[in-house]
Structure 1
Amino acid sequence: MDAVAQSTVARETYWGITSVEYAVFYFLAFTAVAVFAYGVYRRFARYSRGDDESSPRVDDLSKRIVSASKIALSNEKQFNRDLYGGLMHAFILWGFLTLFIATTILMIDEYAAQAVLHTTFWEGDFYLAYQFAVDAMGLLFVVGLGMAIYRRYWVRNHRLWGRHTSSEDDLFVWTLFGLGVGGFLLEGLRVYSAGIPDHEVVSFVAYGMALGFEAVGLPTLGPEQAGLNASGLNVENLHWLAWWSHSLLAFFFIAWIPYAKPFHMLSSFANVVTRDEKAGRRLPNVPSDLDATNAESIDDFTWKELLDQDACTKCGRCSSVCPAKASDRPLDPRDVILDLKSYREGLESGSEEQPIIADGGTSVIDAETMESCMACMACMDACPVEIEHLKSFTRLNRQLTDQGDIDSSMQDVFQNVMQNGNTFGDSPRNRGDWSEDLAFDVPDAREEEVDYLWYVGDFPSYDERNKQVARSLATILEEADVSFGILFDDEKYDGNDIRRVGEEFLYIELAGHHVETWEDCEFDTIVCTDPHSYNTFKNEYPEVDFDEFADDPMMPFEYDERWNEDSEIEVYHWTQAVEELVNEGKLELNGSELDYTVTYHDPCHLGRYNDEYEAPRALIEATGCELDEMPRNRSNSFCCGGGGGGLWMDFEEEPKPSEERIREALEDTDAGSGVEKFVVACPMCMTMYEDGRKTGGYEDEIEIVDVAELIVEAIGKEDEARVEAAAD
């Protein structure tokens, strides 16, 4: 071993490789990079043929890249609700990047420092630090891949397996694992062949492997006999074989990246860079041109929606949190995205076109699949690469509406809204009847100036159970001595959910009516009972360019501006407004009035959509109730099932999302069956959970109440708020 011992603190890069092999190596390297570059070009050229985006995606590009880099390098989305997955992905990502940077450093030393400057920096202390970092991060890389293999094949984590799981997933993880292990094997053989010099101890993994080779007595021939002419089992032959195997595997991987799952390493980062921070909470507007199509062909999808499809890593996080999938509805968010991708790639390979979505027959997506979506945005919140599922889903729903392939119950809702301005089909004149038996008069915001213009909403206006909530909130505002008023019969349905079901032009009609009505009123703030209304008024009405529609004879409004484009008018959910009143001392709650043990359900449109989690909790605690959190709370809250038109459609599902949620409250909270009240802050949630309490057999076990009902009880005004309920 002394004859080949390494004496300098450095190493030869191409030890044991002949000049011919050196040339072959670089020919293969050039070929792999060329195949990679062509594949990337084809991918991004395809995006350029996608439809235009309605919102900016590459503005402030430098800031976007910095922000995306922070998200990617911190792995913050991977750690969300999955520590094991977060660590696994972090180890793989950081290890891969370190090895990539290490290879880049070698290239800079050889082709810049040595070839141009005739010097080298890859020796001495730098070499020692380099070798230690590469071994440490390379070990994390292998450990991370080992964790992935264990989870995928030993544990067989359910969300990693689905209809689109294929051999490319296996090839991807095993190729990376082979690169990591092969790199250590190659380095261990090199260290052993060099006589295991003391300074190589910094390469602790390779050093340990070299000691192992020494322990088993692996023969060595010396460098002059290494290479193609060496024969027998010896370190030189093994090193040569490992070197070429590692190189060829690396070249294959580089060339393969743009054509299969590894492309997500590029597309996912690009997807994070071009994300819309308001995606989901605001939907793209459709052109006023009635000839425009939504999803007649794959060419109708925008370039960002195509990028979404390529960014999907098949991780199944969206599937695992989807309430529709959990209830056995025919929706898997991952499958919808990947079905569209597979169809697109099939067309590029010569497959025949077919309808994107239809009710029955042969289509890429079945109508019932999209009808199952609750528009809860859980899939988007869980996605580590910022795929905007709801944007594509709404496009598909709009196409269904255009085709007339809409659920019959939703057609009835559309008809009710068109004829009467509300989803119940009741007379607009009855909209304010809920307030008649209160001990005070509710002002008309059309006739007097008010601080709060209160948008009551459909369910608090027409549904008997939710009327109690409306009366409770009116009592609270009266007790706080604030100026508020409602629109009575000039109030119509806000349009949120029918828009998500695909009825865009009816939504525009409703929006135009409301902003035109508000222009004739004097108020400071809009307060909404329903989080769905709150989201629509706050995030979507300001996006509408009413001028595009004002001259349309089908549109019953003349408003031709953008409403509240500069956010001059504040829009609140009522819990935010009342929390302010409590903090200002206008409503006295000392935190000791009630002693119920309660749990609270975060509404999707208040929580995930708008990041409001604390106002309802602050009010609950201000009443004196003991709040026992649900296991799935805040951004991880589980949808009640009413969003996206689910409130009006019947599904054969077991269990219903509302039933599962009540079960969770009674069995999985710390208090368990000791929870007395299930607290909501959304009229739709109230309706769904009252139904779930009955169908699930929980009527005698728990009561469904709104936050407002707790407050009126805490201030001793519950009798006044429920006077009409008693009469009913």
Structure 2
Amino acid sequence: MNAVSQLWTNALTQTEVTRETYWGISSTGYAVFYLLTAITILVFLYGVYRRFARYAEGDDDPFARVDELPRRIVTASKIVLSNEKQFDRDLYGGLMHAFILWGFLTLLIATLIIGFEQYATEMLLDLSFWQGDFYLAYQFVVDAMGLLFVVGIGMAIYRRYWVRNRRLWGRHTSSEDDIFIWTLFGLGVGGFLLEGLRIYATGMPDHEVVSFVGYGLAMMFQALSIPLAGEPGVSLSAGVVTGENLHWLAWWSHSLLAFFFIAWIPYAKPFHMISSFANVVTRDEKAGQRLPNVPADLDATNAESIDDFTWKELLDQDACTKCGRCSSVCPAKASDRPLDPRDVILDLKRYRESLEAGGDERPIVADGGTSVIDAGTMESCMACMACMDACPVEIEHLQSFTRLNRQLTDQGDVDSNMQDVFQNVMQNGNTFGDSPRNRADWADDLEFDLTDAREETVDYLWYVGDYPSYDDRNKRVARSLAAILQEADVSFGILFEDEKYDGNDVRRVGEEFLYVELAGHHVETWEDCEFDTIVCTDPHSYNTFANEYPEVDFAEFADDPMMPFDYTDQWNDDGEIDVKHWTQVVEELVQDGRLELSGDELEYTVTYHDPCHLGRYNDEYEAPRELIEATGCNLYEMPRNRADSFCCGGGGGGLWMEFDEEPKPSEERLREALCDTDAGGAVEKFVVACPMCMTMYEDGRKTGDFEDDLEIVDVAELVVEAIGAQAEANLEVTED
């Protein structure tokens, strides 16, 4: 048995194993230490109080944030302790943060144990447990997790300063980021040096071998022959370097650095250790799917001042760690639009802090000038929710962004193209400005008549949508879906001219009252119809009908003479009416045998693009894929798929606005399909399940010079082709 193994065995067999907590510290030093401790705690508590007092000054949040608090805390603890959001898209970053978090929490708990043992047991109960097996286990775990902590900090330093990961650097990068990471590094390394010097200076007790990092450092000090006071000719007089003097110096250096860090936490970046957890606890589990309703009070303001922001939006600002994950996945930033989600949140925070320090007030958001946020920045947002999905601390960017967009609308600082869209919707009920009477003209080429859901009872009320009704390319998709439902022999109908634009994207651009007008019209129309399920062609319609219409308090607006509806109830608040995207409905029909697909009708090599409002918004990824595979197509995934899907660029009003961008999001996505999938250039068809995506990618195919490389098709078009192929095969069998 080697020497280390023997020492370990000796350590485990000892019954009285412990150490003196304040070894080498005089009574005066002891008193100074606790005076500094009291001051540090007071400074820390005052800082935390100031932070939360500021949140209390924020506006009320429209959503319940602290209901079911025990459940929220448990769920938040799971999210934070598992580091699940840190591991998403970034294994290195996930491991790094996990090492730091788990190590830090272990060291914190270890410190609390020392304090509890010192005072609660020795002084109050006269019962000491910090000895024997408990002490040995304690020392081993602390060394193991402390080492993990130092490794994690080292990984962070390597990524930040050696690799210089781009997303970690930006205009809000400052000295506080450097102080934060190097202070943590100093605490971790300093703690091990202190432990090694203590073990060495106390004669390297056998049981301390369990403190394997500290013991290793003690062996290094021994090899360096650092003198000890007990040795002949060595004293503790000033100026003499001994192990005891070095321990004293390390002890006070470590303590003072710890005092600084604790006192600094509420005033700078380390506060995210508190605010981030609070942010996860108070998150809205349907964030992004639904937006806060605007008050019916016309005197209410949206973002005229920082005081218009809710306490949760202020907490979002403080929870931001500057990690840049939101920036790295933002399609607007990738296309060189003037939007960086991180900068918007931190610009608002910096402005708030400048006001608290006596700075001058400025417009929060405006078109040019001295505003905190420029109008062009907010116009660039595609409302794709990638930033929120990537954020490890659950910042709800879209809530703040929508507030800013509403303010732009109130001020009249809206893109001229969007103003035209608003006008079209107000006058004609659709974004094209076409006559409502023409809304169902797309069905003229069908070989069967569509049922009027206003006059007959149907199982499925089909909301066709603007683009499938008026856009020539998307009319083909509408006819395909109609043929699918007819082939399945289901009862379905449409609203004809009583169907209007759903309002999803004009709401995200800030035109809330127009959205309420559209919602009121639709729910009032639906109340006069008999149906079981609303089927949507467009994921944007699906999201707003399923998640946002039920949130509208129509009674607040019904008496407004500008609102063309008398509906006063809360629509579908009990969830009695099912709202589904058409792929979910057709997938059920295939599974139920209402549509016969053998799975080998088509042999195309395809890739599929997840629409933001179907995927990230509503977590539906499988229904479209199962339909594609049911047609026999060979599906190859792009690297960015499902929750990591890259936006087409059409959301948040992007469909109607023009941007100076290079490359366009649609062009980048088509490049990914042809260059980054395993099938590469063999991809024949780029499959979508959203009319907006169809429009954006048809445009990107032209502007990106991909016209000869692949075809843009909807899932419905593949299904119709497969049904036709199946029918032909059945006919051939019958003829034979």
TM-score normalised per structure 2: 0.96
1:222 deviates by: 3.7
Contact preservation (8 Å) 2:638, 2:673 = yes
Q: Distance in 2 between matches of 1:319 and 1:10?
A: 50
Alignment gaps of 5+ in structure 1: 1-5, 721-728
- The CA deviation at 1:196 is 1.2
Contact 2:440 2:469 in 1 (8 A): yes
**Is 1:451 aligned with 2:449?**
no
The corresponding residue for 2:99 is 91
- The letter for the 2-side match of 1:498 is V
1:351 to 359, 368, 372: 359
Q: For residue 684 of structure 1, what is the amino acid of its counterpart? A: M
Contact 1:16 1:226 in 2 (8 A): no
1:424 aligns with 2:432: yes
Say if 1:53 and 1:304, in contact at 8 Å, map to a contact too. yes
- Provide the secondary structure at the position in 1 that maps to 2:580: strand
Residues 155-200 of structure 1, C-alpha deviation per residue, up to 9 Å, x if partnerless?
0000000010000000000000000000000000000011112111
In the alignment, is residue 637 of structure 1 matched against residue 645 of structure 2?
A: yes
Higher mean C-alpha deviation, range 116-125 or range 329-338: 116-125
Q: Does the Cα contact within 8 Å between 1:227 and 1:237 map onto a contact in 2?
A: no
Equivalent runs, 1:316-331 vs 2, <5 Å: 316-331=324-339
After superposition, the Cα gap between the structure-2 partners of 1:360 and 1:225, relative to the gap in structure 1 and judged at 3 Å, is farther
What amino acid does structure 2 have at the position aligned with 1:290?
Answer: L
Q: Among residues 237, 255, 263, which one is paired with 1:255 in the alignment?
A: 263
Pairs within 5 Å for 1:652-691: 652-691=660-699
> What is aligned with 2:620?
612
Structure 1 segment 463-478 matched on structure 2, within 5 A: 463-478=471-486
Which residue in the other structure is 2:3 paired with?
none
**What amino acid sits opposite 1:638 in the alignment?**
F
Structure 1 residue 649 and structure 2 residue 657: aligned? yes
> In the alignment, which residue of structure 1 is the partner of 2:590?
582
TM alignment of 1:592-603, pairs within 5 A: 592-603=600-611
- Which consecutive unaligned segments of at least 5 residues does structure 2 have? 1-10, 729-736
Deviation at 1:491, TM superposition (A): 0.1
Q: Following the alignment from structure 1 to structure 2, what is the Cα–Cα distance between the partners of residues 61 and 716? A: 55
Letter in 1 for 2:630: A
Partner of 2:505: 497
User: Does the CA-based 8 Å contact 2:229-2:235 persist in structure 1?
Assistant: no
**Residue 119 of structure 1: CA displacement?**
2.5
Distance of 1:226 and 1:552 partners within structure 2: 91
* Match status 1:216 vs 2:224: yes
Aligned residues: 715
Q: Any conservation in 1 of the 2:302–2:403 contact (CA below 8 Å)?
A: yes
Once the 2 structures are TM-superposed, how far is the Cα of residue 240 of structure 1 from its aligned partner? 0.4
- Corresponding residue for residue 723 of structure 1: none
2:410 matched residue in structure 1: 402
For the pair 1:52 / 2:81, whether they are aligned, the reply is no
Corresponding residue for residue 726 of structure 1: none
Q: Distance in 1 between matches of 2:595 and 2:70?
A: 47
Aligned-partner SS, 1:716: helix
**1:16 to 2:24 alignment:** yes
Moved more, 384-393 or 114-123: 114-123
What are the residue-to-residue correspondences of 1:216-615 with 2, within 5 Å? 216-222=224-230, 229-615=237-623
SS of the residue aligned with 2:462?
strand
Take 2:535 and 2:205, find their aligned partners in 1: how far apart are those partners?
Answer: 75
Give per-residue Cα distances to partners, 1:215-242, cap 9 Å, x unaligned.
1101000499999855411101100000
Q: Secondary structure at the match of 1:406?
A: coil
Name the structure 1 match of 2:733: none
Per the TM alignment, residue 360 of structure 1 is displaced from its structure 2 partner at its CA by 1.1
Q: Secondary structure at the match of 1:10?
A: coil
Mapping 1:162-181, distance limit 5 Å: 162-181=170-189
Match of 1:131 in 2: 139
C-alpha distance in structure 2 between counterparts of 1:117 and 1:357, whole Å: 60
The alignment partner of 1:116 has SS state of helix
Identity among equivalent positions (%) equals: 81
1:709 Cα shift?
0.1
Determine the structure 1 residue equivalent to 2:8.
none
Match among 689, 710, 722 for residue 718 of structure 2: 710
Query: AA paired with 1:134?
Result: V
CA distance in 2, matches of 1:21, 1:36: 22
The alpha-carbon deviation at position 312 of structure 1 amounts to 0.1
CA distance in 1, matches of 2:377, 2:329: 16
Q: Which of 155, 160, 168 is the matching residue for 1:160?
A: 168
Letter in 2 for 1:537: F
Q: Which amino acid aligns with 1:389?
A: H
Aligned match of 2:5:
none
Name the CA distance, whole Å, in 1 between partners of 2:57 and 2:632: 59
Tell me if the contact between 2:228 and 2:234 (Cα under 8 Å) persists in the aligned partners. no
Query: Does residue 86 of structure 2 align to residue 78 of structure 1?
Result: yes
Other structure's SS at 2:558 match: coil
Q: Distance in 2 between matches of 1:131 and 1:227?
A: 30
CA distance in structure 1 between the aligned counterparts of 2:187 and 2:334, rounded to whole angstroms: 38
CA contact 1:231–1:237 (8 Å) conserved in 2: no
C-alpha distance in 2, partners of 1:573/1:292?
35
Partners of 1:686 and 1:704 within 8 A in 2: yes
Contact persistence 1:339–1:365 (CA under 8 A):
yes
Report the Cα distance in structure 1 between the residues aligned to 2:259 and 2:31, rounded to whole angstroms: 15
How far apart, in 1, do the equivalents of 2:516 and 2:726 lie?
38
What is the CA-CA distance between 1:9 and the residue it aligns to?
1.4
8 Å contact kept, 1:222–1:236: no
Q: Counterparts of 1:612 and 1:652 in 2: how far apart (Å)?
A: 32
